[in-house]
Amino acid sequence: MAETRYDVLTIGNAIVDVIARIEPGFLEKEGLSEGIMHLVDTDRSAYLYERMPADKRQISGGSAANTAAGVASLGGRARFVGKVADDPLGDVFADDLNAIGVDYDTSRLMNGAATARSMILLSDDGERTMNTYLGACHELTEADIREDEIGAASITYMEGYLWDPVEAKKAFVRAAHYAHKHERPTSFTLSDPFCVHRYRDEFLDLMRSRTIDYVFANVEEVKALYQTDDLQVAAREIAKDAEVAAITMGAAGAMAICNGEVVTVPAFPVDVVDATGAGDLFASGFLLAVARGQNFEMALRAGCLAASEVISHIGARPVLDLRQLAAEKGLAV
């Protein structure tokens, strides 16, 4: 086993988030389903960008990158692996991550697609509808996965969205191989119900083959994985397939399942402003706590706390210092 340099290393799509509140009826007019991540091409991306409100915000994002940001805010050592282009938005992405303490230096894509962007449309109830142009982030390959980095991370975490492009899928499997070679656990998030529907059998195989050890999901994702409307049925099934499953349940809190034991904790009460990044930040708290030897109850509480902070404001990155917030709540992360 290599010397530990990172608590959590995350791998995923490097995306710049463009966030704006929308008027009622906007989604219906544009033919969009609320709460879903839609993949869009270059033309559709430009079309939606032009129709978003003028007061939109642009910040670096992406699911696994948000998780790395949360780990750093909690005081952990985080590294992110993901592809951006050699363009101004790529500069913004890299500068943002390094400024908040996330180690990031994946090689840039030259003379290819532009840096990815995700147009995030916020409804009045805080629900987010994402329209994502993947661009350069789809060009992640096995060459970007370095054994010395993976082997030096207590836990490697990957996003289900990474399973879309063929080359990134190979990178995903390569990273898992390196982690297990160095006796480190692997983890991934199911990411989105539509993502689960596309790759259900493959995701189940990743779990059953123990390519992946820890699985993160929300209620709708885990129910989609097992094609049931009953959360308890889905929970029983995932207990058979995953070494550890962490399931977020919104206002009802979260549960962890391991070796037949189920641990649940309540959510931290908060007024929801923007649900973007809730699952990403939950993963950051859970992963860091586990990486540092905490039990699952503490990991769940840390995850719920980080999620509660990020949904209390617009944007998928924490505004408050999560390490200080955890200390105030008596959480040993």
| C-alpha–C-alpha distance, residues 322 and 304, integer Å | 12
Structural tokens at position 95: 């500068």
pLDDT at 135: 92
**How big is the CA angle at 316 (ends 119 and 287), to the nearest 5 degrees?**
130
What mean pLDDT is reported for the chain? 94
pLDDT at 126: 77
Q: Is 316's pLDDT higher than 90?
A: no
Determine which of 60-64, 244-248, 254-258, 262-266 has the lowest per-residue pLDDT on average.
60-64
Across the range 27-52, mean pLDDT stands at: 89
pLDDT at 287: 98
| C-alpha–C-alpha distance, residues 79 and 279, integer Å | 18
* Distances from the Cα of 54 to the Cα of 17, 49, 57, angstroms: 15, 10, 9
Q: Is 282's pLDDT higher than 90?
A: yes
pLDDT for 103-134, tens place per residue?
999 999 999 988 998 888 998 887 889 898 98
pTM: 0.90
10 Å Cβ neighbour count for 44?
15
pLDDT at 77: 98
| C-alpha–C-alpha distance, residues 197 and 168, integer Å | 19
pLDDT at 314: 81
Q: Is 46's pLDDT higher than 90?
A: no
Amino acid code (one letter) for 265: V
- Nearest of 283, 294, 289 to residue 68 by alpha carbon: 283
Q: Is 239's pLDDT higher than 80?
A: yes
10 Å Cβ neighbour count for 311?
24
- As a whole-number percent, the residues of the chain with pLDDT over 90 amount to 79
Greatest Cα-to-Cα distance within the chain, rounded to the nearest angstrom: 55
What radius of gyration do the chain's Cα atoms show? 18
pLDDT at 265: 98
Number of helices and strands in the chain (H, E): 12, 14
Q: Is 45's pLDDT higher than 90?
A: no
pLDDT at 171: 96
pLDDT at 58: 80
